[in-house]
Amino acid sequence: MEILAHRIPEVLPAAMSVAGCRHHFPLLRQWVNGKPLVYLDNAATSQKPQVVIDAMMRYYESENSNIHRGVHTLSEKATQAYESVRGKVAHFLNAASEREIIFVRGTTEAINLVAFSYGRKALGPGDEVLISALEHHSNIVPWQIACEERGAKLRVVPMDDRGELIQEEYAKLLTSRTKLVALTHVSNALGTVNPVREMIAEAHRHGIPVLIDGAQGVPHMPVDVRALDADFYAFSAHKMFGPTGVGILYGKAELLESMPPYQGGGDMIKSVTFEKTTYSDLPHKFEAGTPNIGGGIGLGAAIDYLNALDMKAVMAHEHDLLVYATEQLGGIEAVRIIGTAPRKAGVISFVMEGIHPHDIGTILDAEGIAIRTGHHCAQPVMQRYGLPATARVSFAFYNTKEEVDALVKGLHRVKEVLG
């Protein structure tokens, strides 16, 4: 019964307090290398609350079956459970319809889907795709491949030294050749929050659709795709307290309808003969093959969990952590913070004079502190600062000021070992 005491009730109370939520995450109770775990690598992946783990276990224990295919009871149960998540996602993003919600493997697959389906149709020689200097490799490489294939060009909105996109340059780069803009909502490497609403409006003035990479957006702020007027919005479940292997592409129905399928196979067809295949309607047209059903159900539970949180309190708490950690790290001689945009999410990239980030990561790990070191799948951002790598801490709402204090102590230990 010890364990059950930690589980939160099936029906989540409205607006759980942030401080009370940490114990919903069983993994955070762990000790690592003889120290209580301080998990500060949430931008890579977040931890999962017990309700998400339970929902997936329940599915495999009592509902597992293939969907959309059987008349038997289990298949109907599984289909119903899986499809109900589509409705939850639509509601979570304030999409106009469930038809606009496509299940994918994650942000990476969502962007590839748009690059190869929309890109193939819309791009021709001399056309341009506009991305930004802050993008993750997954919002660069698919566009490079699509552009190369179609004889189109990739253009990049530059950023300033603080890690903010330069809006005057953005406005200049939007031309009649631009066929799509693809921008990150929040930079995973620096934490910069882009003014995506304004940037989408600017692109729309030229009639250009916009894809938003929301991988680092949804875990940290409420997202309303209609208020943003995003044409596509992509995210991964695993960064928002759900499981790996599942994510969402939101797309406006009229755009999705105009696009050719991305992959062919079962589930995405109405009828197949060797001469001709007619495709399913949205959203199934883009969902070939057996999907990650268990993962989808986990995503549904993660959304229920997020809905039960007071997002205003979450944002306030993460902002407090950011401000506190920025002050504390700034107080350590030798630490230099990379990325100082005025609007930032809970991400701090930093370097230490004369000490390589990799060594910082190893020494902190020995203190039970998990951070990310390296290029964060954003090599162009690193190149912009002339750095091969940074150390990065990234917060979720379950982190605490005490953990920031442990980090600061850990960094003093780094100096002591390598000084």
Partner 1 sequence: MSAVNELYQEVILDHNRSPRNCRPMPDATKSVEGFNPLCGDHYTVHVKMRENVLADVSFEGAGCAISKASASVMSSEVKGKTKEEAERLFRDFHDLVTGKVDADEGFERYGRLAAFAGVSEFPARVKCASLAWHTLHAALTSDDPRVTTE
Can you list the alpha helix ranges (DSSP code H) found in 188-283?
196-205, 225-228, 253-258
Query: Which is the catalytic residue, given 115, 130, 347, 377?
Result: 377
User: What b/e string do you get for 264-276 counting C-beta neighbours within 10 Å, with b at 16 or more?
Assistant: eeebbbeeeeeee
Cis, bond preceding 283 (omega within 30 deg of 0): yes
CB of 356 to partner 1, least distance (A): 4
How far is Cα 404 from Cα 257, in angstroms, rounded to an integer?
48
Among 359, 385, 400, 408, binds partner 1 (CB under 8 A): 359
Residue 294: which region, alpha, beta or left (left: phi > 0; alpha: psi -120 to 50)? alpha
Q: Is 137 in the site for partner 1 (CB under 8 A)?
A: no
Among 317, 375, 384, 415, binds partner 1 (CB under 8 A): 375
Which of ligand PLP, partner 1, none interacts with 349 (beta carbon under 5 to 8 A by kind)? none
Cβ atoms of residues 262 and 280 within 8 Å: no
x/- contact string, 300-339, with partner 1 (CB under 8 A)? ----------------------------------------
DSSP code string of 142-159? HHHHHHHHHT-EEEEE-B
CB of 416 to partner 1, least distance (A): 10
Which of partner 1, ligand PLP, none interacts with 108 (beta carbon under 5 to 8 A by kind)? ligand PLP
Tokens representing 251 are 């797309």
**What residues make contact with ligand PLP under the rule CB under 6 A?**
43, 106-108, 136, 138-139, 184, 188, 213, 215-216, 236, 377
Q: Is 376 in the site for partner 1 (CB under 8 A)?
A: no
Cβ atoms of residues 392 and 349 within 8 Å: yes
CB of 106 to ligand PLP, least distance (A): 3
Which of ligand PLP, partner 1, none interacts with 377 (beta carbon under 5 to 8 A by kind)? ligand PLP
Cβ atoms of residues 43 and 372 within 8 Å: yes
Q: Is 147 a known active-site residue?
A: no
Among 389, 404, 406, 407, binds partner 1 (CB under 8 A): 389
Chain contacts with partner 1 (rule: CB under 8 A)? 355-359, 362-363, 366, 373-375, 382, 388-389, 417-418
